[in-house]
Amino acid sequence: MQLTAATILIGGEAGQGLATVGHLLTKTLVRAGYDVVVTQDYQSRIRGGHNTFAIRTTLPGEGPRVAAPSASVDILVALNQETIDLHTPALTPGGVLLMGQAMSAHDVNALAVPYKELIPKPIFENVAALGVLCGLLGLDRAHPARLVTEQFQKKGQDVIDQNLAVLAKSHDWVEQQPHGFGPLAKAPARGEHLALNGNEAVALGAMAAGCTFCSYYPMTPATSVPMMLAAHAETVGIVVEQAEDEIAAVNMVLGASYAGARAMTATSGGGFALMVEGVSLAGMTETPLVVFLSQRPGPATGLPTRTEQADLTLALYAGHGEFPRAIFAPGTIEQCFHLTVHAFNQAEKAQTAIFVLSDQFLADSVRNVEPFDLAALPPAVLPDRSDDAPESYQRYAVTESGVSPRRLPCAGQSLVVLDSDEHTPDGHITEDLAVRVTMHEKRLRKHALLRTDAIPPDYDGPPTPDLLLACWGSTLGAVQEAAALLRAEGQAVGVLHFTQVWPLNPDHFLPRFAQAGKVVMVEGNHAGQLANCIRMETGFAMTQCITRYDGLPFTARYILDRL
Amino acid sequence: MLNTDIYGEFETAWCPGCGDHAILKSLKQALAILEIEPHQYVHCSGIGQAAKTPHYLRCNCFNGLHGRSLPPAQAIKLANPDATVLVSSGDGCSYGEGGNHFLAAIRRNVDITVIVHDNQIYGLTKGQASPTTSEGSKTKSQPWGVTNQPFNPMAVAVAMRANFVARSFSGMMEHLTDMIVQAVRHPGFSLVDVLQPCVSFNKINTFSWYKERCKPIDPAHDPTNWEAAMQVASVFGQTIPVGVIYKNDRPPLGARYKTLAAGPLHERTPNLAAVERIMQTFA
Ligand SMILES: Cc1ncc(C[n+]2csc(CCOP(=O)(O)OP(=O)(O)O)c2C)c(N)n1
Ligand code: SF4
């Protein structure tokens, strides 16, 4: 029988190369036309510990795209004994364990790979593992061969040939084994897909939005965004500066933005906590600020390498005083890209702080996507480039929308005066309390603009479902899958996914809630932060809230077990 | 030389007799000598009495947060290499709240000029000790006398080989003007620490206290000699040497960013062709 889906979990110590094997197999599967979703679980250490790289692959086209981890495993690749001990219980009955020869299996279908015979040197183990996996899954040999050729291009033909030989030998070896697994049904032909994780999509989005300045202080799981911007800084034209701390990072972004750069910072909860005063400065000075906030479990340093969705209220309330902001929460790789582009435009349009709220699961989750159509992106919203009547230019001119024309310093004759104190329309300090009221109301009017632009949550399901599953951000995939399983049992289930969690427009979702039997919110925190926020804004109370805060992403099973 | 009138005349919120008035005058004079017109430069500040300076000048102004004048100032210069960037800040703002930024800015060496109005006290919050308050001084918040040893900004800046390190006194306006002119002309991070009486809260370091002690540095001093500069920088007591203490010619950060060779960042448009190529590496 041919398989339409499989989950491959590679487990071992950090430093054993499991991510290398994982990435190679992921790319091979994507090129062979399958859908993938990767879940990485790692500990906060560089070597040792127990890490996993799980690839869930499905034949595209049947039902909704699978976008969540699976609780069970079909191929368990053990790089050490601990992996076998920990993950054998998750192995499906038809599954197979791949292990080294010195390890022992617990009464399951196991293949001990004779690495010593297959490879001339330990360095080839990754490629051997790839060959065995491709053989098990019955993948066309051309895909891994081309990938390996590309990987070792820089090292010369000799190295390529040696690796290709290992690949073929490993593939041959596994084909001669009586493993009884697979193969995967052949995927239908499709156009080229990219294999991208959430943070790579955010970085691409920033570049496509014309980001020219990024200042940050490293913190998992946000760091890979500035690192990718740094890698391409000179090609794309970005200044990437590692600041002395997060306070400096956000203040630098505001300085650069004031001077006309399209600027962003990237951080996680603890770092963002330090940026809070700067967020308020963006509010008062009406300076565009894009914050990529990638969540991990807190409080404090929490679980540095695990996932959670518990910083929504932090992003919502960060900064003293009152000022408008918007918070976007991508749930897919495509949304990571497009919402980042949108964040830059909204930051310029409303001249305030805009957040892209992601998390570790999405940051590290590689999936296949169609290449983004860059030519179809909306035109960049840019500052006022005129320099008319510079003498009468007022940075904070009072307007009906609350947005004042933003000119740039040293780009013309107009003087741009910006102040963290309450200020007059021309930007100078004031303690005139009537001016305070006028200016405060002017700034707050921009909230309406962000609310008018609010992206409606995506809905999928019947108009009057018995059960409506609501969620936001990266929880989407697990919720969709849970809904699909319930529908297969005959239940009328709807899924409502919020990609914008602030400001909310109740007209976008209250009618849906009203038409549903039960409304259940699924989110990765203890309090039910979005559920509370919706209740605060609308008075609507969820029937139930399914929460998770053990550091792991949701799975469909986890949700079904709690319904 | 430009006419100083172009920098405007504003009513200030400073106490009569405060050293800030003289610093502002010297600053206008220096800008006029440097022929920097108001639209050609950005004046950054944090929070404090000193930090109000840019409001009393016609200029582009980024008056940010307490202790945070340096991060935006450096970023503005990086974002627009054509702009001249000056910072006015207090001793609390620069050496206390913003101490980490001060050290980082010296290391980073962006081409900006920082003028610290050093009155050895917190003015705006009414008289608490600052990092430069001398040991033993009694203040409202330290009625038993300050027990911390004072921060020596000159010695720290020289120790870290900042590009330009000078000290002046608000009672020596010509000298101060000259220090600012030299600081702005010098590429990289330039620091001018200006001793300034706070007539309302600092009853120890008064105008006459500074006047008696501030003495121009021996003209034979070679500011490129680091050891000699360390010696001069460590003197603060019966005499206080004023003048250029140290000079270094490390290239400013901006010069090392290839991206900036193409001019101000605000002139860029998204490089979609490059993004397309980068995207293809994920296929
Ligand atoms: C984060 C923060 N903490 C404290 C304050 C209050 N504050 C305002 S000015 C100031 C000290 C100013 O002293 P200094 O920098 O020496 O400047 P001066 O007023 O003497 O010129 C303080 C503590 C603030 N505005 N922000
Ligand atoms: S309180 Fe001191 S520093 Fe502030 S204006 Fe008055 S004299 Fe100047």
Q: What is the pLDDT of residues B20-69, one digit of tens each?
A: 999 999 999 999 999 999 999 999 999 999 999 999 999 999 999 999 99
What CATH number has the domain bearing residue B22? 3.40.50.970
Q: Is residue A260 part of a domain?
A: yes
Ligand 1 geometric centre to CA of B1 (Å): 35
Residue A124 shares a structural domain with residue A242: no
For the CA atoms of A428, B168, B249, B34, what is the dihedral angle to 10 degrees?
50
B240 lines ligand 1 (CB under 6 A): no
- Helix axis angle for A142-151 and A157-175, nearest 10°, is 150
Give percent above pLDDT 90 in chain A. Answer: 92
Ligand 2 geometric centre to CA of B199 (Å): 6
Order of strands, sheet of A213-216, starting from the edge strand that comes earlier in the sequence: A239-242, A213-216, A263-267, A289-295, A353-359, A325-328, A500-502
Q: Would you state the pLDDT for residue B275?
A: 98
B52 lines ligand 1 (CB under 6 A): no
Q: Distance from B270 to chain A by nearest Cα, in Å?
A: 4
Residue A201 shares a structural domain with residue A280: yes
Q: Which domain holds residue B13?
A: 4-281
What residues pair up with A359 in beta bridges, in sequence order?
A295
- Within A51-99, residue ranges assigned H as helices are 81-87
Residue A360 shares a structural domain with residue A416: no
B123 lines ligand 2 (CB under 6 A): yes
B130 lines ligand 2 (CB under 6 A): no
Average pLDDT of the residues of chain A:
96
Which of A216, A410, A413 to mutate: most B Cβ within 10 Å? A410
Q: Give mean pLDDT, residues A517-545.
A: 98
Whether A265 has a pLDDT exceeding 80, the answer reads yes
Residue A369 shares a structural domain with residue A403: no
Residue A299 shares a structural domain with residue A350: yes
Question: Which of A60-64, A108-112, A422-426: highest mean pLDDT?
Answer: A422-426
Cis peptide before A503 (omega within 30 of 0): yes
Q: Would you state the pLDDT for residue B19?
A: 97
Cis peptide before B197 (omega within 30 of 0): no
Closest C-alpha among A139, A136, A144 to residue A165: A144
Inspect the interface and report whether the beta carbons of A255 and B283 lie closer than 8 Å. no
Inspect the interface and report whether the beta carbons of A417 and B264 lie closer than 8 Å. no
Whether A410 has a pLDDT exceeding 90, the answer reads yes
Inspect the interface and report whether the beta carbons of B275 and A251 lie closer than 8 Å. no
Ligand 2 geometric centre to CA of A283 (Å): 29
Q: Would you state the pLDDT for residue A42?
A: 86
Q: Which domain holds residue A438?
A: 390-453
Largest CA distance in chain A: 85
B201 lines ligand 2 (CB under 6 A): yes
B142 lines ligand 1 (CB under 6 A): no
Task: Determine the residue of B45, B47, B70, B120 to mutate for testing ligand 1's pocket, defined as the one with the most ligand atoms within 8 A of the Cβ atom.
Answer: B47
Six token digits for residue A467 = 């059960």
Ligand 2 geometric centre to CA of A394 (Å): 29
Q: Give mean pLDDT, residues A456-477.
A: 98
Q: Whose CA is nearest to atom 8 of ligand 2?
A: B18
| Chain A hits for B41, Cβ within 8 Å | 410
Q: Distance from A407 to chain B by nearest Cα, in Å?
A: 11
Q: Give mean pLDDT, residues A174-185.
A: 91
Residue A440 shares a structural domain with residue A479: no
d(CA B243, CA B263): 34
Inspect the interface and report whether the beta carbons of A259 and B58 lie closer than 8 Å. no
B90 lines ligand 1 (CB under 6 A): yes
At A481, give phi and psi (nearest 5°).
-70, -40
Residue A40 shares a structural domain with residue A146: yes
Ligand 1 geometric centre to CA of B130 (Å): 9
Number of domains in chain B: 1
Whether B85 has a pLDDT exceeding 80, the answer reads yes
Q: Would you state the pLDDT for residue A273?
A: 98
Number of domains in chain A: 4
Closest C-alpha among A39, A25, A29, A41 to residue A5: A29
Q: Would you state the pLDDT for residue B259?
A: 87
Q: Is A46 helix (H, G, I), strand (E, B) or coil?
A: coil
Nearest CA in chain A to B40: A410
Q: Give mean pLDDT, residues A540-563.
A: 97
Give percent above pLDDT 70 in chain A. Answer: 100
Inspect the interface and report whether the beta carbons of A243 and B61 lie closer than 8 Å. no
List of E strands, chain B: 41-45, 60-63, 84-90, 113-118, 164-169, 190-195, 214-216, 240-247
Question: If 0-12 CB within 10 Å is exposed, 13-18 middle and 19+ buried, where does residue B238 land?
Answer: exposed
Q: Is residue A185 part of a domain?
A: no
Q: Would you state the pLDDT for residue A232?
A: 97
Residue A311 shares a structural domain with residue A250: yes
What ligand has the least distance to the C-alpha of B196?
2
List of E strands, A61-201: 73-78, 91-100, 110-113, 194-196
B49 lines ligand 2 (CB under 6 A): yes
Q: Would you state the pLDDT for residue B202?
A: 96
Which of A194, A417, A423, A424 to mutate: most B Cβ within 10 Å? A417
Whether A62 has a pLDDT exceeding 80, the answer reads no
Residue A477 shares a structural domain with residue A354: no
Query: Tokens 């006459």, residue?
Result: B208
What ligand has the least distance to the C-alpha of B170?
2
Ligand 1 geometric centre to CA of B174 (Å): 28
Amino acid at B247: K
Whether A63 has a pLDDT exceeding 90, the answer reads no
Residue A80 shares a structural domain with residue A163: yes
Q: Is residue A189 part of a domain?
A: no
Six token digits for residue B134 = 């001398």
Q: Would you state the pLDDT for residue A47?
A: 84
Inspect the interface and report whether the beta carbons of B274 and A236 lie closer than 8 Å. yes
B20 lines ligand 1 (CB under 6 A): no
Residue A212 near residue A240 (C-beta atoms within 8 A): no
A194 — pLDDT class (breaks 50, 70, 90) = very high
Residue A7 near residue A75 (C-beta atoms within 8 A): yes
Inspect the interface and report whether the beta carbons of B266 and A261 lie closer than 8 Å. yes
Q: Is residue A183 part of a domain?
A: no
Inspect the interface and report whether the beta carbons of A260 and B63 lie closer than 8 Å. no
Q: Is A243 helix (H, G, I), strand (E, B) or coil?
A: coil
Q: Would you state the pLDDT for residue A244?
A: 98
Inspect the interface and report whether the beta carbons of A194 and B279 lie closer than 8 Å. yes
Q: Give mean pLDDT, residues B80-108.
A: 98
Q: Would you state the pLDDT for residue B128?
A: 96
* Stretch (H or E) spanning B212: helix B207-213
Closest C-alpha among A54, A98, A85, A90 to residue A72: A90
Which of B76, B189, B277, B280 to mutate: most A Cβ within 10 Å? B76
For the entire predicted model, the pTM comes to 0.97
Residue A14 shares a structural domain with residue A160: yes
Q: Distance from B263 to chain A by nearest Cα, in Å?
A: 11
B84 lines ligand 2 (CB under 6 A): no
Q: Which of A438, A453, A468 is the last residue of a domain?
A: A453
Whether A2 has a pLDDT exceeding 70, the answer reads yes
d(CA A300, CA B214): 49
Which atom of ligand 2 is closest in space to residue B197's alpha carbon?
7
d(CA A334, CA A65): 13
- Which residue has better confidence, B223 or A17? B223
d(CA A408, CA A44): 43
What ligand has the least distance to the C-alpha of B64?
1
Which of A258, A365, A381, A413 to mutate: most B Cβ within 10 Å? A258
Q: Distance from A191 to chain B by nearest Cα, in Å?
A: 11
Closest C-alpha among A229, A409, A416, A251 to residue B80: A409
Residue A358 near residue A198 (C-beta atoms within 8 A): yes
Q: B172 Cβ partners below 8 Å, 6+ apart?
A: B214, B242
Six token digits for residue A504 = 């909310």
Inspect the interface and report whether the beta carbons of A418 and B61 lie closer than 8 Å. yes
What CATH number has the domain bearing residue A241? 3.40.50.970
Ligand 2 geometric centre to CA of A427 (Å): 23
Give percent above pLDDT 90 in chain B. Answer: 96
Give the β-pairing of A493-498 and A458-460.
Answer: antiparallel
Nearest CA in chain A to B41: A410
Residue A150 shares a structural domain with residue A11: yes
Q: Which of A348, A376, A404 is the last residue of a domain?
A: A376
What burial letters (b/e) apply to A179-197, b meaning 16+ CB within 10 Å? Answer: bebbebeebeeeeebbbbb
Nearest CA in chain B to A377: B272
Dihedral sign from CA coordinates of A223, A225, A226, A231? positive
Q: Give mean pLDDT, residues A175-180.
A: 90
pLDDT in tens, B170-203: 999 999 999 999 999 999 999 999 999 999 999 9
d(CA A338, CA A355): 13
What are the DSSP calls for B98-120, one per residue? THHHHHHHHHHT-S-EEEEEE-S
Task: Determine the residue of B117, B125, B170, B194 to mutate for testing ligand 1's pocket, defined as the one with the most ligand atoms within 8 A of the Cβ atom.
Answer: B125
Q: What is the DSSP letter of B252?
A: P
| Chain B hits for A247, Cβ within 8 Å | 68, 71, 101
Inspect the interface and report whether the beta carbons of A256 and B65 lie closer than 8 Å. no
B194 lines ligand 1 (CB under 6 A): no
Q: What is the ipTM of this complex?
A: 0.98
B199 lines ligand 1 (CB under 6 A): no
